[in-house]
Amino acid sequence: MMDDKPQHECGVFGIYAPDEDVARLTFFGLYSLQHRGQESAGIAVSNGRRINLHKEMGLVAQVFDENSLRPLQGHLAIGHTRYSTTGSSKLQNAQPFVVESALGPLAVGHNGNLTNAHDLRQELLNRGVGLTSSSDSEVITQMLAGGEGRTWDEKLRVFMVRAQGAYCLTVLTKDALFAVRDPWGLHPLCIGRVGETGWVVASESCALATIGAQFEREVAPGEIIAIGEDGPRTVARMPAPDRAMCLFEYIYFARPDSLVEGQTLHAARVAQGRELARESPADADIVIPVPDSAVPAAIGYAQASGIPYSEGLIKNRYIGRTFIQPDDRLRKVGIQLKFNPLADNLEGKRVVLIDDSIVRGNTSGPIVRLLRDAGAVEVHMRVSSPPIRHPCFLGVDMASYPELIAHRMSIPEIEDFLGVDSLAYLSLDGLVRATGHADAGFCQGCFTGRYPVDIHLVEKETFEN
């Protein structure tokens, strides 16, 4: 059964640390970013003369071992863990991409989606540049390798003028590490300090904590940072007139212990639950989450409503980590592969079931039936995000219009479809309040259909041969 969540984006990591085993630290940094992508992983390391690369399909722990890390010697590294948003899930699209250029070797890791990738790709092909993948990330790599400018600083500035859409980049040259965040700040990127002279860049601050690095600050929207032996320096700041941080980083994507705009995502999600309780109360005996991602919102709902928090579902946390497909008999078991109910907690109870989002609606109904079969007498579903009525074209695999249940159905129709006694979603205003930054700009495209940049519809496998 397909997981009824927006699929993750990618995780990027970069490190400059002359006195450290940078490949090993990158491995652990990627390990902490595994939630952002589970399809492939790669690490590129520079020793000041050349860049060595290892990448494969699979989870970080499947791709790397002592033998594959040992040849990756140097003082600069970038790493990437991928979920495919442009270009299918195959080795040719795995990152980082590494090429030779007139300025020396270049490696690029990318989180996001370029909305003008089709035009940029066609320009490269018209110039005679050969492309080996169907990923917009290779387009970025070749744009930098052969773009205008006599230095990497200049090439990155030109790229930022040309590129449209979402991108957080770690860029590795033979003697420097660059961090680049798109002008809208659509997805997070931060910088920290490791050891006496080392610096780290990562999609989320949780990766810094994992390797013992000290969080310094977020990379600003439109900022290009170069890191070398003199430490970090800002090459350029080219922000858009308005910020447009992805609201789903607050709802689901980023790890709850990561910091965004000065607060943990856990605190923001608890606040979402409190807002949801104020907006949509329920007469019930217990509040339970769909584990694990809805736990903070359920805690907040319980706090604000005064209804006791409890556990009603136990998640098999490793089912999603296998590439072995269930046979026909196990497919019929369905949702029980992933969740088991706690009948002792549910018997005779009126339940508020908290989830952070409903995309297709293909798992919510079976979960409701699981609770009723375990003895719940009422199930009131509350969702700590607004209805998702539109796809994402900026780095999140959010499903297509026909797949989105809130695009096809009204809330009363969804309520009947799921078989719940009542259903309510958090309002967009309530979600923005819960971020603690109501005056900041956010991308609301998946809720409203209004995107911060012009959207050119590009399907995930548009560039496949």
182 known member of a binding site: no
Distance CA 48, CA 46 (A): 6
If DSSP codes are grouped into helix, strand and coil, which group holds residue 147?
coil
Q: In which element (H, E) is residue 126 found?
A: helix 117-126
pLDDT at 193: 98
206 known member of a binding site: no
Catalytic annotation present for 190: no
At residue 249, what is the residue type?
E
- CA-wise closest residue to 211 among 220, 219, 202: 202
- CA-wise closest residue to 45 among 85, 77, 88: 77
pLDDT at 336: 77
Q: How many CB atoms lie within 10 A of CB 328?
A: 6
pLDDT, averaged across the chain? 92
pLDDT at 393: 87
Which of 10, 168, 190, 206 is labelled catalytic? Answer: 10
Evaluate whether 6 touches 248 at the Cβ level (below 8 Å). yes
Q: In which element (H, E) is residue 405 found?
A: helix 405-408
Distance CA 93, CA 286 (A): 46
Q: How confident is the model at residue 455 (pLDDT cuts 50, 70, 90)?
A: confident
- 283-342 pLDDT, tens per residue? 999 999 999 999 999 999 999 999 999 999 999 877 655 555 667 666 666 777 889 999
344 known member of a binding site: no
- 51-91 pLDDT, tens per residue? 999 999 999 999 999 999 999 999 999 999 987 544 455 78
More confident of the two residues 47 and 134: 47
**Residues forming a β-bridge with 194:** 198
356 known member of a binding site: yes
DSSP, res 321: G
Distance CA 109, CA 195 (A): 24
- 85-121 pLDDT, tens per residue? 444 557 889 999 999 999 999 999 999 999 999 999 9
Report whether the peptide linkage leading into residue 289 is cis, meaning its omega lies within 30 degrees of zero: no
DSSP, res 7: B
* Length reported for the chain: 465
190 known member of a binding site: no
Kindly state the percentage of the chain with pLDDT values over 90. Answer: 83
Q: How many CB atoms lie within 10 A of CB 416?
A: 11
- 169-199 pLDDT, tens per residue? 999 999 999 999 999 999 999 999 999 999 9
Q: Which residues contact 318 (CB under 8 A, 6 or more apart)?
A: none
Distance CA 60, CA 31 (A): 6
Q: Which residues contact 200 (CB under 8 A, 6 or more apart)?
A: 13, 14, 15, 16, 17, 25, 29, 191, 192, 193, 194, 207, 208, 211, 213
Order the strands of the 168-173 sheet from edge to edge: 97-101, 104-111, 168-173, 177-181, 223-228, 231-237
> 10-240: CATH homologous superfamily?
Aminohydrolase, N-terminal nucleophile (Ntn) domain (3.60.20.10)
pLDDT at 217 over 70: yes
* Strand ranges, E, within 3-96: 10-16, 40-46, 51-57, 76-82
Q: Which residue has the tokens 């409701």?
A: 368
443 known member of a binding site: yes
Mean pLDDT (whole number) for 45-49: 97
Distance CA 85, CA 458 (A): 10
pLDDT at 317: 77
Q: Tell me the domain boundaries of the chain.
A: 10-240, 267-448
pLDDT at 235 over 90: yes
**CATH fold of 267-448:** Rossmann fold (3.40.50)
Q: How confident is the model at residue 398 (pLDDT cuts 50, 70, 90)?
A: confident
- CA-wise closest residue to 372 among 308, 414, 420: 420
